[in-house]
Each structure stands twice: as C-alpha cells, then as structure tokens.
Structure 1
Amino acid sequence: MSVYSGDFGNLEVKGSVQFAIDYMESLKELHVFVAQCKDLAAADVKKQRSDPYVKTYLLPDKGKMGKKKTFVVKKTLNPVYNEILRYKIERQFLKTQKLNLSVWHRDTFKRNSFLGEVELDLETWDWDSKQSKQLKWYPLKRKTAPVALETENRGEMKLALQYVPEPSPGKKLPTTGEVHIWVKECFDLPLLRGSHLNSFVKCTILPDTSRKSRQKTRAVGKTTNPIFNHTMVYDGFRPEDLMEACVELTVWDHYKLTNQFLGGLRIGFGTGNTYYKFNSLEPNSLGDEKTKV
C-alpha cells in the first residue's frame, strides 16, 4: 500500500534494496538498517542515472511523524546508504504495524519519482530469530492500490445529531434553525506513537469549508477511549439546506506542534470534497438520540 504523493507512472520499477530490521529492547526502538540499492531505474535516461533516496513509514501512520528517510545519493543507480532509520515504539505495538519502504528519485524542480517499494507485515515477524536480523535483498515492487487505510476500521465514535428549528413570531413554519452535533466519546482509537495518544475531534459541515464552519473539541490524553461530551452548534440552516449538508467529523492526535490524522466519518445527505479518505472510523448509534441531518 503506497501512502505518499509523487510521480508514480513515468519510470519502470526495477532493481532491489538491501536492508534489515531489528528491535532494540534497551532503547525501545525499531531500527531499519538501509544498506544499499542496486540496478534502479534511471530517471535521467540519457545519462543513465538517478538521485535516489529511501523513505519508510510505519503504517497505518502516514503522516510526518511516521515518515523517515535517508540522505540522497546523487548520480547513481546503485546507491550505498548504510544508514539506520529509528522509530520510538513499544514492541507490543509492532504487531499492529506494517513497514513500508520505498525508493525515490529526488527531483529539485519537479515531483519526486517513485522507483519501487517493499512492504513487511510486522504482525508475524520473529524478532528473536537471528535470521530475521540479517541483511536481505528485496526486489522492488510497483505501487499497490491504496485501499487498506480506506476500508480499515480505526475505532468508533458515539454521537448525536439534531436539527432545532428557531421560532418565528407570526409565521407558521420556522425559516431557519440550528444543527446540534454532540460528540460524546470514541472507542478503540489507533495508537500511532507507541502508548501515547492525545486526541481531539474536528467538525465541518460541508460543502462549507471556511474557518467559521470549523469547530473542535478539547484534547483528551492518555486513553484510546476519550470522553469529550462536547456539543457543536451551527445556526442559520434552512430545512432545505439539510439536503445538501454533510457533517464531516475527523479525529486527530495532537503531538507538540503537529496533528496526526487518526480517522473520520461523514453523515448526511450531501456530499463534498476533502483531502481525507473516510470509512475508517465507524459511528456508534445512540438509538433515539441520533437524528440524521
């Protein structure tokens, strides 16, 4: 599964990469030792050379916190790195991770070009085997369809939605009303930073993506089952507006100066464009309290 942006279609995928992985118990770190690549595709066909580097992710984290990369080796199809990429993570959480290692050509003026990738499922990896810690050559593969993150369940959200008409003196039917969105809690959120989590929920009513449409809860730390009990109120909605509106709720992990996307969902009759793919965080029904917008 490829999770990054770039140019995937222009270059043939060929060659292989040599690397090894090991878990350092004393440091609580996963080490990815990237040794070298050979027989890579040439981004510069005329001169038969590329400027390759290696990038890794610990999936399902596809953000900046989960990305590591080597230095760029210029003008070669057989780069040597001998570099260790480190991830601070508890060993038990590696069972839920996949290591995605990809090779790229660095282009200063255009989008970087994809040269191939390797993916290892760490759920069944034998960390105590000496053979598992040895350097191995892996053939580079083409980009696979990015479907896993889109269909994977990454937790549940318990919420309620309600439309409250505003009374209009002298008129039989109200002309506008308020949309109330009560976010009570989430369950079983994924851990992307070992045992650390500091989650909050953002809300937008599409197709309006302006700043006034964005609201959020407070951050709740140290739990994968945060309780928010937060109500967001949006006013000025006509009954006919509800047929076009779509509530977009996303869950984030706040860490230092960055926010890492955990999952999200959409509820409503309307549609809208966004930068994220959903179906990864399931709503938990509140029975009679849940009213569809």
Structure 2
Amino acid sequence: MIVVMESHSPLELLSAQLKILVSDTVKYTLLGLSVSLLLLALGILCWQTIRYCKQTKNNRGTRQTRVNSLLLYTDERPSMAVLYSRPPHTKVEDICLEGHRVNHYLSPSSDSSQTEGEVDEKVSIKKLEGSLRFSLYYDQMQSRLVVTILQVKRLQEHTESCSQQSFVKVRLMRAESHRLNLEDNWDKEEKGKILWTVLQEWKTQIIRSGSNPLLGDQFSCALQQQEDMLHHTNLRMEVWDFDTFSRNTILGEVRVQLGQLKISQPLELQEELQIPQKDLVGEVLLSLKFLPTSQRLEVGLLKVRTVPAETHSDTALYARISIQCNQYRLRYQKTSAVSRCLMTIFNEVFIFSLPEFPLERCKITVSVYETRKTNKHLIGQLTVGKEKSSEDKHWNLMMCSVRQPVAKWHGLMI
C-alpha cells in the first residue's frame, strides 16, 4: 500500500492558523467601529458647513444695513447709453503722509503749486492782527487806476522760523447789475449775494522780513467809463503767509469801495485786517450719483455760468474735481478745456471709488480755472460734502435717491 503525503508551504500554514484565531465576532466589531468613525466625520463636516454659511449670511446682512436699506437687490451696472471719456483712475493717498512729501511744494512754478495749490490753501484764522498801508490814484486823463501796496504793519508771527514770508494778493472786482436767471434753484442764503466779476488780479513779491514788511509794489489798469465803473468797483487785498514746504495761510483782508473815495489825487490809506469773506462769481450745475454696493461716486460737471470781464477768443475753462473721504484724498480728475462763454457746457462724468464704509466725512471740491495760452488762474470753487454731524443739501438728496443722478446749481465762490 502506497500512502501519498501532501506538502504545505509555511505561508499557507500561517494563513490557516490566523483564520482559526480570528473569529466572526471580531470581524463584525472592527467593521462596526469603522462605520461609526465614518459617520462621525461626516457629521462634523456637515456642522462646519452649516456654521460657515450662517456666518457668511450674517456678515452680508450687516454690510447691507450699513450701506443702505433701499434697493440693494437691483443691478448696478452703468447704462451703455452713458459713455465716459476715460476709465476711472483712483489713487488713495494718506493725508497724514503729505507733510513728509515736501518736494511737492518746493517748486512754485510747477502745476501742483501756487495756481493748482490754491485749492488747498488754509483759510482758518486763530487770531486776527495787523493792518495794511496802501495808496490809490485814478488818472482821469488816461482813465487809469494805480494801486500801490506800501507796507503790512503789526503782522503776527505765524511760523516758528525767525523770518516771516508774506505777500499780498490784490483783486479788482466789479459788481454786476444783472442777475443770473437760475436763483430759484439755490438755497435761501445764496440768493441775497451779489454777483462779482474779477477784472484784474495781481500778486506782490514775497517779502522775507519781520512783522512790518515793506513792499512798494505798484499795479495799474485801464478803467473805462469812470462814473459807472468806480461806483460798482471794489478793491480786495488779501495778506498771505507764504510757506515753501506747506500750504499758504491767509492772515486777513482789506476791502475798499472805490466809489466812496476821492482818488483823483493820490490817496494813502491804512486799514485794519478783517476776516476774509467769499464772493460769488458764478454758478455751476453739478450732478451726483451714489452706488452703495460697488462703493462708487459719480460726479458730473454739466454747466458753468460766469460773466467774463473781457471777451477773448483764446480763453478756455476747465475744472478740477477732488474728493477727500474719511481722511483719505482720492486722486483728482480734470475736465477737458472748453471755450469760455456766458454758459460753458461740459457734460462730463467722473467716477471715484470710495475707500471704505461708512462714509463719516466726505468733501467734494470743484475748482474752475481759466486758461489763456500758457497762463491760467483760479476763477472760483464750490464744496459739497458730508460731516459727522451735518450733511449738505445736495448730498442729502443724493443719499435719498440712491443709483439715480441728482443735479443742483451751486454758487461759485472766490
């Protein structure tokens, strides 16, 4: 009898022994534990997802409440019917850093100084002190007015430096007999103001001296129709403190009515400095539109109405629009130059992206300039805005009609 013996490998023997040791109870226990861990992981994932969705919804609702509770679910894409002359360019600059950028004010002949810089000249006066000595003479034979700025006396030191730098700005202004036809659109306080035209504008040399600087600058211009002109002409002389590294500060002004003086012979006068006042020189039709969700402000300069002193074919007007929002200044934008006439039409719209919400403080400044060949000078300014405690009427109308342009006439002051 032959017996056949089967041979098994060691691996097969080990596998057979493991199958015997691991019972069915252990297998089902491990499987149940794995399924429990999987369900726990899925539960944690769902809980985190629900929590994230709730937090995002709450943040979105808080932001919409700050912006406005009106019409936040409509589309804000600008209409294709309105074509803008240039894409929006917004540059945010911290005003606190401007004091360190002294090179911006070093060159008096640059575009950003003096002529352009007059927009930001300080007009606040802490304490008024001083007087201005000057002389007037009207030459009847030549129909010519001669103004001589002699001296500024008892000028208070406003700077920490030893030498005071001052100059005098002289404006010859005429009161217009006719009224503008759009006074019904103005505020009540604007209707009673007289419309003025700047006939001539001069500026003395800058004197670096003490509190009693001697000037001696003389200016003259032709005045036709003596009786009519002198009785409706005023002389406005402003004393300024010049600062090379900052903005010029006005110290006071003197106003003289030529029709009440006998200036057929040279007449020397000395008048105390008074608090500066603004004069109405025209009006501007301004349009404002606020888009809260996209944080944009559209400023439209539609029309500018002034009374030119003289008619020149080569004179043109342009405007500079600057915005200061929550202590940040946005990069200003300029309109194109348009030939000056009684009613100058621009019809240009500019877009400014506002830096943050809520808008606690926002000031829109529009400065209108006249250009003639290479010369340019400031005609007037207007300001619209919002403070913490008060709002301008135009600003309030804009916020009440969100996403709709609101146009209003404003007085142009100088």
- Using structure 2 for the length normalisation, give the TM-score: 0.41
Q: Is the 8 A contact 2:134 2:148 kept in 1?
A: no
Letter in 2 for 1:232: F
Q: What is aligned with 1:201?
A: 319
Q: What is aligned with 1:136?
A: 267
CA deviations on 1:129-158 (whole Å, 9 max, x unpaired) are xx53212232x12211112x1xx3332221
1:87 paired residue among 221, 236, 251: 221
Equivalences for 1:280-291 in 2 at 5 Å?
289-290=405-406
CA deviations on 1:245-277 (whole Å, 9 max, x unpaired) are 33322222234243314121214x347xxxxxx
Q: Is the 8 A contact 2:300 2:347 kept in 1?
A: yes
Q: Is the 8 A contact 2:253 2:276 kept in 1?
A: no
Q: Is the 8 A contact 1:161 1:181 kept in 2?
A: yes
Cα 1:125–1:291 change in 2 (3 A) is closer
Equivalences for 1:178-197 in 2 at 5 Å?
178-187=296-305, 189=306, 191=308, 194-195=310-311
Cα 1:25–1:216 change in 2 (3 A) is farther
Cα 1:181–1:216 change in 2 (3 A) is same
Equivalences for 1:64-103 in 2 at 5 Å?
66-69=201-204, 84-87=218-221, 97-100=233-236
CA deviations on 1:74-94 (whole Å, 9 max, x unpaired) are 99x9x896x742236776777
CA deviations on 1:12-62 (whole Å, 9 max, x unpaired) are 659x65542347757xx533257x78xx7699xxxxxxx9x995612569x
Matched, 1:145 2:275: yes
- Partners in 2 of 1:103 and 1:237 — Cα distance? 37
Q: What is aligned with 2:82?
A: none
Q: CA RMSD in A?
A: 5.6
Cα 1:178–1:95 change in 2 (3 A) is farther
Greater per-residue helix proportion? 2
Alignment gaps of 5+ in structure 2: 1-120, 157-163, 174-195, 243-249, 409-414
- Partners in 2 of 1:264 and 1:22 — Cα distance? 37
CA deviations on 1:205-246 (whole Å, 9 max, x unpaired) are 2223243xx1121122231321001011124666x4445433
Matched, 1:58 2:192: no
Cα 1:215–1:42 change in 2 (3 A) is closer
Letter in 2 for 1:245: C
Q: What is aligned with 1:220?
A: 338
- Partners in 2 of 1:71 and 1:182 — Cα distance? 38
CA deviations on 1:107-140 (whole Å, 9 max, x unpaired) are xxxxxxx999864213x368xxxx53212232x1
Q: Is the 8 A contact 1:198 1:219 kept in 2?
A: yes
1:30 paired residue among 145, 148, 160: 145
Q: What is aligned with 2:286?
A: 159
- Using structure 1 for the length normalisation, give the TM-score: 0.55
Aligned residues: 240
Alignment gaps of 5+ in structure 1: 44-50, 107-113, 166-174, 272-278
- Partners in 2 of 1:115 and 1:222 — Cα distance? 33
Q: What is aligned with 1:260?
A: 378
Secondary structure of the residue aligned to 1:132 is coil
- Partners in 2 of 1:96 and 1:178 — Cα distance? 45
- Partners in 1 of 2:287 and 2:294 — Cα distance? 20
Letter in 1 for 2:271: K
Letter in 1 for 2:284: M
Greater per-residue strand proportion? 1
Cα 1:205–1:241 change in 2 (3 A) is farther
Identity of matched residues, %: 17
Larger radius of gyration: 2
Secondary structure of the residue aligned to 1:176 is coil
- Partners in 2 of 1:57 and 1:218 — Cα distance? 29
Secondary structure of the residue aligned to 2:263 is helix
